[in-house]
């Protein structure tokens, strides 16, 4: 035990307040952590494997839905995987490797039943850019698959660490318009890069800036080859099948599910038809150099021919380092955005940290089997959801389709036209482009975020996807900081409301901004508070970036609208501050204007939107009070309404607010505390017995009730020791007006305030 003398000395050293206001303590805060850690550790470990929560309840009804959805997605995933490998400048089998391990491992760690992990267009484009970047700086040292699998391992390990440390909340700093912006720009870039392959045009770099690719493609149109017959026909056929199936679904709604599956199979159908057509046309037209009239896929090795651990070296890591941030951002951002979207649409909640663990494990393990970075696919996830998937186990059946294709169909893949794969890519990425109504919604909701979306699109097209992502993220964070640093506080007035029936009981008062354009009906009369009372509402947390703005708003408003307590003309020049630009003597007109203004009695601060406050903000509020009281030349009451957190109350008390003497004499507001039963009725007027027995109950029931009397104690809502803290804005206004009325009746507003 610490001696009382030592405690007294310690309190004197730190200037411990003696006002006696009880506030929350660090001990109260730390008590929440003094619990048995074993349940938390167990919950954390079990949370790493969400499959344990539902696999024991698996049933035949779920199995049928998972089989249908899994097989449907698998049929789409096989051609898409090989197509996206082309975007990544990798052999097609690497797309199948990524497809297999993505859907296979995800079901163990997933908290989303709809998401399908595998190769995606934007990530494939990024992988291709990373391969190009590394090979330009280390020519001939690393091949494409080595770079791609190394990238998958490193990015997967980073994302896995973020998930295990439970810091996935950092993804929330990237808003929807920024994601949509670079996704739209990336989709346009991917489509532009695939058009030359669709048309059989060659002779320029299709990985250059998008606008350059478009220009070079237009210049190369005279060099179009026979590949265009396969590519354009395939692209048009994909859209025809899609729109015909959609029209038929509306025309015959009873068969909508049949037409949905026919539409879902369009990629596989086009690949099969055009592969057969290419085989019939090319098998007898091979020239002396072994070339065919159109570009075809050719050899695709069967099975897993590239199983080995990722070849990670210091030189490879240093070469990839500049590209790692953007690759990691795309890996986690696209997946979280998709999983959240489908969770919201289908009525369940995903765990972002667990989803990061899922894609981290998928990429880390998959890199050992030749897989390049994989993440959630929007198109395949939508297909999976509409196919009636019931659990993440559907990924197992998708993996079966991929493994069958990898071991049994690779000889047929030889004749797949590259132009047909380009058509599938263009058709798939078109869904990533934001629709006009979505873009218009951005404009209506927040014009600034619309410009962020537009900047992301334009920079991605005219520069690169990396610059588009960095620009959109930086602009979004800057907008967040600007909004935090420039809050839109408002001075409030009152509006009296009553029921149309004229019932006196339905009358009430609400507080709204005094500016007429801040309420729905501009013709409604907003009455300012009583003269001498100001009501100010914060619209952000009160923190160091914005506290000076709030300080200036309060002080400037007081100096402009409230009476100055001291005649500055009577103050000698040598006694004035150096920055006081007031005239030497006030004119009669200025004195008359000042005397018409009301004496300031109280300032009410509405803290209903303030969730945090810091030391700088408290000091700023102290400075504002000091500056206001220098202007009025007497103390001013500061009332606080709707304090959300006990830590905010503690901070205000530490700043000298909330306690002290007040001029208001309103009756205390009391409320019933937790009732208790039995025992002797305490000798206290604030305690009353309450019986639950109705007048018509039987005598037996009454007898039982008399033995079980409920005692209800009434206590004040807010402690008497802090009369300037109020439960709501109405109570704060009533207290301030009470003090003002009391002083007005005494006709001693300024003298009384000065005396106190």
Could you tell me which of 742, 735, 641, 77 has the C-alpha nearest to residue 402? 77
Q: What is the pLDDT of residues 26-75, one digit of tens each?
A: 777 777 667 777 888 888 888 889 998 899 999 998 999 999 999 999 99
Q: Which of 146-150, 202-206, 244-248 is the least confident region?
A: 202-206
Q: What span, in angstroms and rounded, lies between the C-alpha atoms of 289 and 598?
A: 98
Give the pLDDT band (50/70/90) at residue 752.
very low
Report pLDDT for 247. 94
d(CA 285, CA 696): 102
Tokens of 38: 């074993």
- State the average pLDDT for the chain: 84
> Closest Cα partner for 352 from 369, 367, 365, 335?
335
User: By C-alpha distance, which of 146, 171, 251, 110 is closest to 476?
Assistant: 171
Question: Mean of the pLDDT values across residues 724-753?
Answer: 75
Q: How far apart are CA 649 and CA 486, in angstroms?
A: 24
What is the per-residue DSSP string for 382-428? HHHHHTT--STTHHHHHHHHHHHHHHHSHHHHTT-BHHHHHHHHHHH
Burial zone of 205 (CB within 10 Å; 0-12 exposed, 13-18 middle, 19+ buried): exposed
pLDDT at 425 over 80: yes
Distance of CA 263 to the CA centre of its chain: 34
Per the DSSP assignment, residues forming a β-bridge with 542 are 613
Phi-psi region of 747 (alpha: psi -120 to 50; beta: other; left: phi over 0): left
- Containing H/E element for 51? helix 51-54
- Angle in degrees, CA 665, 670, 675, rounded to 5: 165
Residue 680, pLDDT > 60, answer: no
Out of 164-168, 201-205, 552-556, 645-649, pick the least confident. Answer: 201-205
Among residues 293, 299, 300, 277, the alpha carbon closest in space to that of 227 is found at 293
Looking from the CA of 111 toward its CB, the CA atoms found within 13 Å total: 22
Query: What pLDDT, on the 0 to 100 scale, is given for residue 516?
Result: 60
Question: Is the model's pLDDT at 656 over the cut of 70?
Answer: yes
154-203 tens-digit pLDDT: 999 999 999 999 888 888 888 888 888 988 998 899 899 889 988 888 88
Which residues sit opposite 710 in a β-bridge? 677, 690
Instruction: Of 297-306, 496-505, 673-682, 700-709, give the lowest mean pLDDT range.
Output: 700-709
**Paired strand residues for 491:** 536
pLDDT at 703 over 60: no
d(CA 638, CA 131): 63
Q: Is the pLDDT of residue 25 over 60?
A: yes
Q: What pLDDT shows up at residue 699?
A: 46
Q: Is 510 helix (H, G, I), strand (E, B) or coil?
A: strand
Please, what is the angle between helix 266-282 and helix 418-429, to 10°? 160
Q: Where would I find the H helices in 110-226?
A: 121-137, 144-164, 176-199, 210-219
Whether residue 102 has pLDDT greater than 90: no
Relative orientation angle of helices 378-386 and 256-264, to the nearest 10 degrees: 150
Question: How high is the pLDDT of residue 685?
Answer: 47
Q: 3-class SS at 696?
A: coil
Residues 98-124 have a mean pLDDT of 91
pLDDT on residue 679: 47
Between CA 7 and CA 3 the distance in angstroms is: 6
Quote the CA–CA distance of 362 and 368 in Å, as a whole number.
10
**What's the pLDDT score for residue 675?**
60
- Whether the pLDDT of residue 753 is over 50: the answer is no
* Cβ 729 vs Cβ 604: under 8 Å: yes
Domain annotation for the chain: domains and CATH numbers: 50-482 (no CATH), 492-499+506-566+590-665+716-747 (3.30.750.24)
Q: Is residue 393 over pLDDT 90? A: yes
What would you report as the CA-atom Rg of the chain, rounded to the nearest whole angstrom? 36
* Predicted confidence (pLDDT) per residue in 568-602, tens digit: 666 666 666 766 666 666 667 777 888 888 889 99
* Composition of the chain by helix, strand, coil, percent to 5: 60, 10, 30
| CA angle at 452 for the pair 340 and 455, rounded to the nearest 5° | 120
Residues 450 and 115 sit within 8 Å (Cβ to Cβ): no
Question: What value does the mean pLDDT take over residues 360-373?
Answer: 93
Look at strands 710-716 and 602-606 and give their pairing: unpaired
Which helix (H) or strand (E) segment holds residue 594: the answer is: helix 588-596
pLDDT at 695: 44
Determine the pLDDT at residue 399: 94
């Amino acid at each position: 035990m610490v001696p009382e003398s030592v405690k007294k000395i310690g309190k004197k050293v730190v200037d411990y307040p003696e006002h006696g206001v009880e506030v929350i303590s660090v001990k109260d805060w730390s008590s929440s952590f003094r619990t048995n850690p074993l349940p938390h550790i167990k919950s954390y470990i079990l949370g790493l494997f969400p499959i344990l929560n539902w696999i024991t309840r698996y049933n035949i009804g779920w199995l049928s839905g998972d089989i249908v959805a899994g097989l449907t997605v698998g049929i789409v995933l096989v051609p898409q995987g090989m197509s996206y490998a082309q975007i990544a400048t990798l052999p097609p089998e690497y797309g199948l490797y990524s497809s297999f391990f993505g859907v296979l491992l995800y079901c163990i760690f997933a908290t989303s039943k709809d998401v399908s992990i595998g190769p995606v267009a934007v990530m494939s484009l990024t992988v291709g850019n990373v391969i190009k970047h590394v090979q330009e700086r280390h020519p001939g040292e690393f091949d494409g698959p080595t770079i791609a699998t190394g990238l998958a391992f490193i990015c997967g390990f980073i994302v896995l660490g973020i998930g295990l440390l439970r810091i996935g909340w950092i993804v929330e700093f990237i808003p929807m318009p920024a994601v949509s912006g670079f996704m739209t720009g990336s989709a346009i870039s991917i489509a532009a890069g695939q058009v030359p392959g669709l048309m059989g045009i060659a002779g320029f770099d299709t990985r250059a800036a998008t606008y350059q690719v478009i220009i070079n493609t237009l210049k190369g149109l005279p060099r179009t080859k026979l590949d265009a017959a396969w590519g354009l026909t395939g692209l048009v056929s994909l859209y025809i099948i899609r729109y015909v199936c959609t029209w038929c679904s509306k025309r015959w709604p009873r068969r909508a599910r049949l037409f949905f599956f026919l539409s879902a199979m369009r990629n596989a159908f086009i690949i099969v038809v055009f592969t057969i057509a290419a085989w019939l046309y090319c098998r007898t037209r091979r020239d002396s150099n072994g070339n065919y009239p159109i570009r075809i896929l050719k050899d695709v090795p069967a099975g897993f021919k590239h199983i080995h651990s990722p070849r990670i070296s210091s030189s490879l890591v240093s070469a990839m380092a500049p590209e790692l941030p953007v690759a990691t951002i795309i890996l986690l951002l696209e997946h979280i955005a998709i999983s959240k979207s489908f969770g919201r649409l289908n009525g369940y909640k995903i765990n972002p940290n667990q989803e990061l663990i899922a894609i981290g494990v998928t990429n880390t393990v998959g890199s050992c089997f030749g897989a390049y970075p994989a993440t959630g696919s929007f198109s395949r996830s939508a297909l999976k959801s509409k196919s009636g998937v019931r659990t993440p186990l559907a990924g197992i059946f998708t993996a079966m389709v991929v493994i069958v294709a990898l071991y049994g169909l690779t000889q047929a893949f030889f004749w797949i036209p590259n132009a047909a794969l380009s058509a599938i890519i263009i058709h798939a990425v078109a869904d990533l482009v934001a629709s006009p109504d979505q873009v218009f919604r951005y404009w209506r909701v927040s014009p600034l975020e619309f410009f962020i979306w537009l900047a992301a699109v334009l920079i991605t097209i005219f520069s690169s996807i990396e610059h588009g992502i960095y620009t959109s993220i930086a602009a979004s964070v800057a907008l967040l900081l600007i909004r935090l640093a420039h809050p839109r506080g408002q001075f409030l007035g009152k509006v009296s409301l009553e029921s149309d029936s004229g019932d006196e009981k339905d009358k009430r008062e609400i507080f709204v901004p005094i500016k007429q354009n801040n309420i729905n009906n501009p013709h409604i009369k907003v009455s300012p508070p009583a003269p001498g009372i100001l009501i100010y509402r914060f619209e952000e947390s009160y923190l160091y970036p914005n506290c000076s703005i709030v300080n200036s708003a309060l002080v400037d408003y007081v100096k402009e609208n409230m009476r100055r307590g001291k005649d500055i003309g009577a103050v000698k020049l040598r006694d004035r501050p150096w920055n006081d630009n007031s005239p030497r003597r006030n004119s009669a007109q200025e004195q008359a204007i000042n005397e018409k203004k009301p004496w300031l009695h109280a300032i009410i601060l509405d803290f209903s939107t303030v969730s945090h406050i810091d030391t700088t903000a408290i000091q700023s509020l102290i400075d504002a009070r000091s500056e206001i009281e220098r202007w009025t030349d007497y103390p001013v009451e500061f009332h606080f309404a709707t304090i959300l957190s006990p830590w905010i109350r503690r901070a205000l008390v530490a700043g000298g607010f909330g306690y002290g003497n007040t001029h208001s004499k309103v009756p205390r507001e009391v409320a019933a505390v937790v009732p208790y039963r039995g025992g002797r009725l305490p000798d206290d007027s604030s305690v009353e017995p309450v019986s639950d027995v109705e007048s018509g109950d039987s005598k037996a029931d009454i007898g039982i009730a008399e033995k079980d009397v409920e005692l209800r104690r009434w206590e004040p809502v807010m402690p008497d020791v802090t009369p300037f803290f109020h439960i709501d804005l109405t109570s704060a206004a009533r207290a301030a007006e009470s003090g003002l009325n009391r002083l007005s009746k005494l006709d001693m507003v300024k003298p009384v305030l000065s005396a106190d």
